[in-house]
Amino acid sequence: MTDTEAGKGWLGRKLKRKEDYRLTTGKGNFIGDIQLPGMLHLVFVRSLHAHAKIVNIDTSAAEELKGVVAVIAGKQLAEEILLMPQPIVVPNIPANHPTFGPLAIGKVKFHGEPVAAIVARDKYVAEDAAELVMVDYEMLPYVGDMEAALAPDATRVHEQFDDNIQYESSLTGGEEIADQEANDVRVAKIFEEADLVVKRRYRCHRCGVTPMEPRGVVADWDHAEGLSAWITTQRPHIDRLALSDILSIPAEQVRVMAPRDQGGAFGTKAPFYREPILICHMARKLGRPVRWIESREEHLMSISQERDQIHDLEIAARSDGRILALRDRIIADGGDGCEGVYWGYLMPFLGAVLLPSGYDIPNCDIKLKVAFTNKAVLSPARSFGSYPARFAMERAMHTVARELGLEPTAVQRMNLVTEFPYTTATGFNYDSGNFIKVLDNLVEKIDLTGFRREQEEARKQGRYLGIGFGLGAEASGMASEVLVQMENQPGYGAAMVRVDPRGKVQVCDGDCSQGQGHETTVAQVVAHEMGISPDDVKHSQGDTDNTPFGCGTIGARAGSYKLSAVAQACRHIKEKMSRIAAHDFSVSAKPEDFDFIDGEIIYRKDTNIRTTFAELAYRIVMTPLDLPEGEEAGLEHTAYFEAAMPMICFAAHAAIVEVDATTGQFEIKRYMTSEDMGRVINPQIVDGQITGGVVQGISNCIFEEFVYDDTGQQLTSTLENYKLATAADVPHVEVTHAPTPCPYTPLGSRGIGEGVPGPVPGALSNAVTDALEPLGVEITELPLRPNVIWKLIQQNRQAAE
Amino acid sequence: MYPSVIDNYVRPKSVDEAIAAIVDGGEDAMFIAGGMSLMQAIKSRLVSPSCLVDLQDVSEIKGISSDDTGLRIGAMTRYREMANADKLRGAYGALVDAAAHVGDRQVRNRGTIGGSLCWNYIAACTPAACLGIGASVELVSRTGAKRTLVADDFLGSPLETAREDNEILVAVTLPTPEPNTGSAYKKWGLVADALPVVGVAVLVQTDAAGICLRARVAFSGLGDGPCRSAAAEQVLIGARADETSKIGEAFEAAAAELEVQADMWADEDYRRLLMRELGKEVTATAFNRAETGS
Amino acid sequence: MYKDVTITINGEEYQEHIPVRLLLVDFIRDVAGLTGTHVGCTYEGVCGACTIQIDSEAVKSCLMLAVQADGHEVATVEGLAQDGKLHPLQEEFNEHHALQCGYCTPGILMNAEEFLKENPDPSEDEIREALIGNLCRCTGYVNIVTAIKSAAEKMA
Ligand SMILES: Cc1cc2nc3c(=O)[nH]c(=O)nc-3n(C[C@H](O)[C@H](O)[C@H](O)COP(=O)(O)OP(=O)(O)OC[C@H]3O[C@@H](n4cnc5c(N)ncnc54)[C@H](O)[C@@H]3O)c2cc1C
Ligand code: FES
Ligand code: FES
């Protein structure tokens, strides 16, 4: 770095990540790397059945095994701790929140539910003991089909409720039933009079974004200090409060720490899960450190399952392609619904809210029902609830266009929101942006016109090339206004910035990175604001003992909320430094009269008046003599950034595929995105979020699926069966930019990353549909498997004959 | 996730020592070669051997050699070596194709031909390739007696073989190839180089005019384990490389003849389609290799 | 049930008395305390996070018992940098942002290091093929491929 590069100009820079040295040399510090003296290992015994009464659990043989310290089952545990739900992790949304404990009580409700647990000195011995636990089950009917589950006479998953409807509501028409009905009538009328109505059933399968590192907990108990727990988590502060409540430990005696490094999360580490409760409880009960490291099998059986939705979606359109109204009846399979914060239904709920995507459709009638079933609860996955919604919406837009003989992007473009701020019919806010610019950029860069010529040529040769577009207006962090209701927690971003006597800056916040590179982007923001080098910034996070409350690393908040709080805190400190500098130099200057550049603080009106950042820091922190009147000692500030309104980021994706009509197999020849992430802090990091999210989206769309058989046995609990895309299965993803700075954040940045997979299923399935248009094939179901595509080709050929 | 207790582990240096060790090890003793299947089974506690007899130091059963009777591939020869073996190209190219796409490079660095044949997994590449090219296996028993079985007799239903307990597979043997012989193997799985949903191995020997004199056709990924299709072979005999519809018929005959199952990767019809489409492609490659010799 | 083994890891000899059933990955992580090697599978051995080298060949250490490595040389990510100097692969991974969470990274580095010795000038497709045994959930592979290509050029 040359001298002139320092100072301003740290934003938008491709700064190499600070995290990489330790991670490329094997010096990362993940949950599995934490060792405490005398640490015990906990292993779960999990249910072999989807729905069965527990008649008896015999743990005697397990208890007798040498090296086993404790064995516990659900009934006993229920006498020792409180049960869920606890208010701190229950949304302020009317829904059924089932009662449950970390270990099943009375009956099991999905294949893989924890039934008992072993604590042993050695992890191998713990597994030996787990094999010795004998559980007698009495089978109950398996509730596996979400539509059948909703029938009034269906077997109930939870006896405490009258039926299997966990959540039911209208997302449109207002709060009052009468208003909703009036809205429905109005929308129905538009449908009756429309030039074109497209109605389809779109089905998105169960899949998620399982990270490479499964979950884990290390808990330690000290009679004087209480509980210390390291948890793989996206929200240590919420975990702390929830653990305090459910284990009845005063909050000041609960310390939760996110390990410095976490091997990805993408939403899966955001809920308050049942397992950490037990690990922490056992550490307290035994007075010894206890560790649980989730196996991949446990992970695939119990978490990271999402996206399981059916949309009966209708669009009313004018003959020129203008969308007049949208109606959707959504049902989601929420599984057993037992999961703190999200409860299985929150993903489909948000997905329904986000359904209109970036389109201006004031007339909507959208209703959602979420069913309890004997499957693992839905848990968050990047593109939270919206992946299936985007699939349905973008497929429908393509179909409307083709029924009218129009180019799909023309119809998409014509219907995009152009005036901001905008509120969707579902009440979601679009703060700002330029959607058309984003789409136009993509259409141009992928050369749609050129492609259509190529496609025509190819069709003459009997080759099936196709292009598809998928769009998405994704939440870029959520404000308190939304989160207080939705997740019962604030939405502000918080950061503590401290300048030390040597002029180095320390930043602490209560969130935690799982690969997003916060240490680097935080350092860039501080460097930008303070005019120092990012090397002089140290960032730490995730320890509830010494960070301000943070609602977590969720929903692409870092770019929008956290970094804004960092910038605000820096500005606050700069003002103080400027005031003291003015005082020391005896100039009557306003704070903005000082420039912070290249490690110096320079009086703009007379640049001979200057001092170094480090000197002034030392002067203020270490020699607090002769301060201006009323000025406190110290250089430290905690800032809270609350957005004026919820913010979004908009993206458009395009895929070009070639389908082999003989086998239904297809190749993604090109995949390109166009992004508006506002002002970019670090382009490399942002582009990395996008390529990663796109490949997750592709992998979800084609390869991944959680499969339950007719009796509820989960058949995909290994990476051999739950297939993730390898490097050889995916294209080189091209990322392009069409930014519009966000006027509502101090840096103009938008948070990005969470919603990236959303537009993928639309782009891919539209591309396959486009390729096979001459054969009349239309994709309405995921996953997009060759077998299914081939069958559709066969059916259409037969129908044609 | 973790193996159950294993009482003993030995590492013999010769076939004789290996046999002695497996006998000493008792009923639940097992050989371990690359461990790429066995370790999965041990870690999932599907098997719990009391003693492992590790064959890694038995150098006499490593590597590929040839003499005037043919080729000999030691049981402990790894995929890595087979994938790069010039000696196998052309007539026995199916084995190269199979080995080059087993799993991933880490797996190919350890997995062996002997282990693969003895495990005989339902969706395994090597057993089908060996059936396709007409390989034989050489086994040595506790008495030191040697027997040779053709792959057809050795390979049984999935996870079953004609190997007796305590018998060690020492080598896979292949006759010196007849002139104008070529073979190939290809599989399809959902992701790259995954276990085959269907895999097809084809060997053809042609006359000077390129007409097929002899054919062998074998499949992997079918419910009954690796198997040959007599019907397909029958149709191929007399065919030329450019008779694509006839070649297609051969694989339709195979699809009609063999039991085809549905599972979460493919339904029955799609498996049949894969048999035909892969079959046509593999046959074309085999013809080409028969002609060019590489 | 127990065996004495001598396993050399990154040039350092470990003489230990270990259970036969101990997995090599646990020997590396728990006995030698080298936690750069990660675990991402139950028993299937698909993810590649545990990839190390035995006698300079990339293998998955979750699919081996420690006793099988007796007498062999193991190399892990901790040994990749020599005398404080990063390996070109490590440098290029940093340069091209080829990692996010870094959980897959050590395994990928150990596999790629051997791969580049075998194929010093690989094409993009060859690199992608070579990575089949290493899943990465964060990056979408794009930058990993670029970094490996770039390291190959640097090492040429
Ligand atoms: C990630 C992954 C992907 C894979 N993908 C594929 C694939 O695409 N296609 C495919 O075909 N396979 C695949 N496999 C399996 C792989 O091919 C195995 O290597 C092979 O099946 C077993 O060979 P091995 O040398 O590892 O044998 P081991 O696992 O060591 O042994 C297998 C069995 O054979 C016995 N045995 C071994 N050698 C002898 C001998 N000489 N005499 C008597 N008995 C013996 C053992 O006792 C054991 O019962 C994959 C494996 C993994 C882990
Ligand atoms: S831990 Fe996944 S391959 Fe070894
Ligand atoms: S960087 Fe996170 S899995 Fe690869």
Q: What is the pLDDT of residues C10-49, one digit of tens each?
A: 999 999 999 999 999 999 999 999 999 999 999 999 999 9
* Residues belonging to chain C: 156
Nearest to B40 among C1, C20, C45 (CB): C45
pLDDT (tens digit per residue) in A672-683? 999 998 888 899
- DSSP codes of every residue in A485-540: HHHSS---EEEEEEE-TTS-EEEEES---SSS-HHHHHHHHHHHHHTS-GGGEEEE
CB A443, CB A616: distance < 8 Å:
no
Other chains touching B, judged by 3 or more CB pairs under 8 Å: A, C
Residue range A5-28+492-641 forms a domain whose CATH class is alpha beta
Interatomic CA distance for residues A714 and A267, integer angstroms: 22
Q: For chain B, which domains are there?
A: 8-54 (3.30.43.10), 66-175 (3.30.465.10), 181-289 (3.30.390.50)
Interatomic CA distance for residues B4 and B47, integer angstroms: 9
**CB distance B2–A663 less than 8 Å?**
no
Nearest-ligand number for the alpha carbon of B124: 1
Considering the domain architecture, whether residues C75 and C102 belong to the same structural domain is answered as no
**Chain A 184-243, CB below 8 Å of chain C: which residues?**
209-214
Q: Which residue of C has its CA nearest to B38?
A: C63
**Amino acid, single-letter form, for residue A728:** A
Strand residue runs (E) in A350-500? 364-371, 422-423, 429-430, 464-475, 493-499
Which residues face A543 on adjacent strands? A257
**CB distance C36–A695 less than 8 Å?**
no
pLDDT grade, residue A453 (50/70/90)? very high
Statement: residue A610 has pLDDT above 90: yes
Beta strands at C2-9 and C73-75: parallel, antiparallel or unpaired: parallel
Strand, helix or coil at A694?
Answer: helix
pLDDT at A556: 67
Interatomic CA distance for residues A733 and A408, integer angstroms: 22
Mean pLDDT of the B42-60 span: 98
Other chains touching C, judged by 3 or more CB pairs under 8 Å: A, B
Nearest-ligand number for the alpha carbon of B168: 1
Interatomic CA distance for residues A406 and A317, integer angstroms: 12
User: Per CB distance under 8 Å, which residues of C are interface residues toward B?
Assistant: 1, 3, 19-21, 23, 42-45, 48, 51, 57-60, 62-65, 67-68, 70, 111, 115, 129-130, 132-134
Q: Which token pair is A425? A: 């019919």
Q: DSSP character for A724? A: P
By CB neighbour count within 10 A (0-12 exposed, 13-18 middle, 19+ buried), where does A800 fall? exposed
**CB distance A728–B192 less than 8 Å?**
yes
Q: Which residues of C touch B192 (CB under 8 A)?
A: 129, 132
Ligand 3 centroid – CA C49 distance (Å): 9
C-alpha distance across the termini of chain B, in Å = 44
Q: Which residues of C touch B7 (CB under 8 A)?
A: 1, 20
Considering the domain architecture, whether residues C92 and C147 belong to the same structural domain is answered as yes
* Alpha-carbon gap: C60 to the closest alpha carbon of chain B (Å): 6
Mean pLDDT of the A624-653 span: 91
Nearest to C1 among B1, B5, B104 (CB): B5
**Which residue in the block uniquely carries the two structure tokens 């007539």?**
B91
CB A745, CB A678: distance < 8 Å:
yes
Considering the domain architecture, whether residues C73 and C99 belong to the same structural domain is answered as no
CB A472, CB A430: distance < 8 Å:
no
Considering the domain architecture, whether residues C65 and C97 belong to the same structural domain is answered as no
pLDDT at B133: 98
Interatomic CA distance for residues A559 and A550, integer angstroms: 14
Mean pLDDT of the A639-649 span: 86
pLDDT at A482: 81
Mean pLDDT of the B175-201 span: 97
Considering the domain architecture, whether residues C75 and C94 belong to the same structural domain is answered as no
Nearest CA among A130, A126, A83 for reference residue A104: A83
Statement: residue A4 has pLDDT above 60: no
Using a pLDDT cut of 70, give the percent of chain B over it: 100
Q: What is the 3-state secondary structure (H, E, C) of chain B?
A: CCCCCCCEEECCCCHHHHHHHHHHCCCCEEEECCCCCHHHHHHCCCCCCCEEEECCCCHHHCCEEEECCEEEEECCCEHHHHHCCHHHCHHHHHHHHHHHCCCCHHHHCCCEHHHHHHHCCCCCHHHHHHHHHCCEEEEECCCCCEEEEEHHHHECCCCCECCCCCCEEEEEEEECCCCCEEEEEEEECCCCCCCCCEEEEEEEEECCCCCEEEEEEEEECCCCCCEECHHHHHHHCCCCCCCHHHHHHHHHHHHHHCCCCCCCCCCHHHHHHHHHHHHHHHHHHHHHHHHHCC
Considering the domain architecture, whether residues C99 and C132 belong to the same structural domain is answered as yes
CB A6, CB A599: distance < 8 Å:
yes
| Residue B48 at interface with chain C, using a CB cutoff of 8 Å | no
Interatomic CA distance for residues A345 and A287, integer angstroms: 37
* Sequence-ordered list of residues with C-beta below 8 angstroms from that of A423, at least 6 positions apart, any chain: A429, A430
pLDDT (tens digit per residue) in A196-222? 999 999 999 999 999 999 999 999 999
Q: Which residue of C has its CA nearest to B56?
A: C68
Nearest CA among A344, A348, A323 for reference residue A335: A344
Strand, helix or coil at A227?
Answer: strand
Statement: residue A2 has pLDDT above 60: no
Q: Which of B5, B191, B244 best tests the A interface by mutation, with the highest count of A CBs <10 A?
A: B191
Q: Which residues of C touch A124 (CB under 8 A)?
A: 19, 21-22
ipTM: 0.98
* Sequence-ordered list of residues with C-beta below 8 angstroms from that of A603, at least 6 positions apart, any chain: A581, A585, A587, A589, A593, A594, A609, A610
pLDDT (tens digit per residue) in A19-49? 999 999 999 999 999 999 999 999 999 999 9
**CB distance C60–B1 less than 8 Å?**
no
Ligand 1 centroid – CA C67 distance (Å): 19
Q: Which token pair is A153? A: 């006479």
- The secondary element (H helix, E strand) that includes residue A637 is strand A636-641
- DSSP codes of every residue in A70-139: EEEEHHHHHHHS--B--GGGS-SS------B-SS--SEE-STT-EEEEEEESSHHHHHHHHHH-EEEEEE
Nearest-ligand number for the alpha carbon of C134: 2
Statement: residue B197 has pLDDT above 80: yes
Considering the domain architecture, whether residues C14 and C68 belong to the same structural domain is answered as yes
Ligand 2 centroid – CA C50 distance (Å): 5
pLDDT grade, residue A8 (50/70/90)? low
Answer whether CATH 3.40.1050.10 is correct for domain A309-480+645-800.
no
Nearest-ligand number for the alpha carbon of B79: 1
Ligand 2 centroid – CA A25 distance (Å): 19
* Alpha-carbon gap: A219 to the closest alpha carbon of chain C (Å): 19
Ligand 3 centroid – CA A264 distance (Å): 7
Q: Which residues of C touch B84 (CB under 8 A)?
A: none
Considering the domain architecture, whether residues C92 and C69 belong to the same structural domain is answered as no
Average pLDDT, chain B: 97
| Residue B43 at interface with chain C, using a CB cutoff of 8 Å | yes
- Indicate the residue among C47, C79, C111 that finishes a domain: C79
pLDDT (tens digit per residue) in B217-245? 999 999 999 999 999 999 999 999 999 99
**Chain C 42-61, CB below 8 Å of chain A: which residues?**
42-44, 46-47, 49
Q: Which of A22, A212, A269 to mutate to test the pocket of ligand 3 (most atoms within 8 A of CB)?
A: A212
* Phi, psi dihedrals of residue A591, rounded to the nearest 5°: -55, -35
Q: Which residues of C touch B103 (CB under 8 A)?
A: 132-133
Ligand 1 centroid – CA B115 distance (Å): 4
- Which residue's CA is the nearest one to ligand 2's atom 1? C39
Mean pLDDT of the A424-440 span: 95
Strand, helix or coil at A366?
Answer: strand
CB A755, CB A357: distance < 8 Å:
no
pLDDT grade, residue A704 (50/70/90)? very high
Mean pLDDT of the B100-122 span: 98
Ligand 2 centroid – CA C17 distance (Å): 24
Nearest-ligand number for the alpha carbon of C147: 3
CB A246, CB A81: distance < 8 Å:
yes
Where in chain A are the domains?
A: 5-28+492-641, 34-140+212-265+269-302, 309-480+645-800
Domain of C24, in residue numbers: 2-79
Statement: residue A572 has pLDDT above 70: yes
- CATH code at position C129: 1.10.150.120
**Amino acid, single-letter form, for residue B267:** D
pLDDT (tens digit per residue) in A94-115? 999 999 999 999 999 999 999 9
pLDDT (tens digit per residue) in A395-427? 999 999 999 999 999 999 999 999 999 999 999
Interatomic CA distance for residues B190 and A32, integer angstroms: 31
Beta-carbon neighbour count of residue A222 at 10 Å? 12
CB A705, CB A205: distance < 8 Å:
yes
- Whether C60 lines ligand 2, by a CB cut-off of 6 Å, is yes
- Fold: same for A5-28+492-641 and A309-480+645-800: yes
pLDDT at A538: 96
Q: Within 6 Å (CB) of ligand 1, which residues are found? A: B 30-38, 55, 75, 102-103, 107, 111-112, 114-116, 118-119, 121, 124-126, 168-169, 193, 195; C 45-46, 63
Considering the domain architecture, whether residues C149 and C104 belong to the same structural domain is answered as yes
Considering the domain architecture, whether residues C108 and C138 belong to the same structural domain is answered as yes
* Sequence-ordered list of residues with C-beta below 8 angstroms from that of A553, at least 6 positions apart, any chain: A234, A235, A265, A511, A512, A513, A514, A516, A518
* Alpha-carbon gap: C119 to the closest alpha carbon of chain B (Å): 13
Nearest CA among A249, A251, A247 for reference residue A237: A251
CB A496, CB A792: distance < 8 Å:
no
CB A345, CB A370: distance < 8 Å:
yes
pLDDT grade, residue A479 (50/70/90)? confident
- Quote the number of domains for chain C: 2
- Which residue's CA is the nearest one to ligand 3's atom 3? C136
Mean pLDDT of the A256-261 span: 96
By CB neighbour count within 10 A (0-12 exposed, 13-18 middle, 19+ buried), where does A37 fall? exposed
pLDDT grade, residue A750 (50/70/90)? confident
* Alpha-carbon gap: C85 to the closest alpha carbon of chain B (Å): 26
3-state helix, strand and coil shares in percent for chain A, rounded to the nearest 5: 35, 25, 45
Interatomic CA distance for residues C36 and C50, integer angstroms: 9
pLDDT at A1: 31
**CB distance A791–B264 less than 8 Å?**
no
Whether the upstream peptide bond of residue A421 has omega within 30° of 0, thus cis, is yes
Average pLDDT, chain A: 95
- The secondary element (H helix, E strand) that includes residue A220 is strand A216-222
pLDDT at A674: 97
Interatomic CA distance for residues B76 and B58, integer angstroms: 8
Using a pLDDT cut of 90, give the percent of chain A over it: 88
Distances (CA, A) of C156 to C117, C149, C151: 10, 11, 9
Statement: residue B51 has pLDDT above 90: yes
Considering the domain architecture, whether residues C97 and C149 belong to the same structural domain is answered as yes
Interatomic CA distance for residues A514 and A266, integer angstroms: 8
**Which residue in the block uniquely carries the two structure tokens 């009845």?**
A248
Beta strands at A429-430 and A464-475: parallel, antiparallel or unpaired: unpaired
Q: Which of B268, B273, B278 best tests the A interface by mutation, with the highest count of A CBs <10 A?
A: B273
Statement: residue A266 has pLDDT above 70: yes
- Whether C138 lines ligand 2, by a CB cut-off of 6 Å, is no
Tell me which CATH homologous superfamily contains domain A34-140+212-265+269-302. Aldehyde oxidase/xanthine dehydrogenase, a/b hammerhead (3.90.1170.50)
Q: Which residues of C touch B109 (CB under 8 A)?
A: 57-59
**Amino acid, single-letter form, for residue A120:** A
| Cα of B162 vs its chain's centroid, Å | 15
CB A374, CB A336: distance < 8 Å:
yes
Q: How many CA atoms lie within 13 A of A704 on its CB side?
A: 27
pLDDT at A3: 32
**Chain A 695-724, CB below 8 Å of chain C: which residues?**
695-696, 717-720, 724
Nearest to C133 among B56, B80, B104 (CB): B104
Nearest CA among A700, A675, A694 for reference residue A473: A675
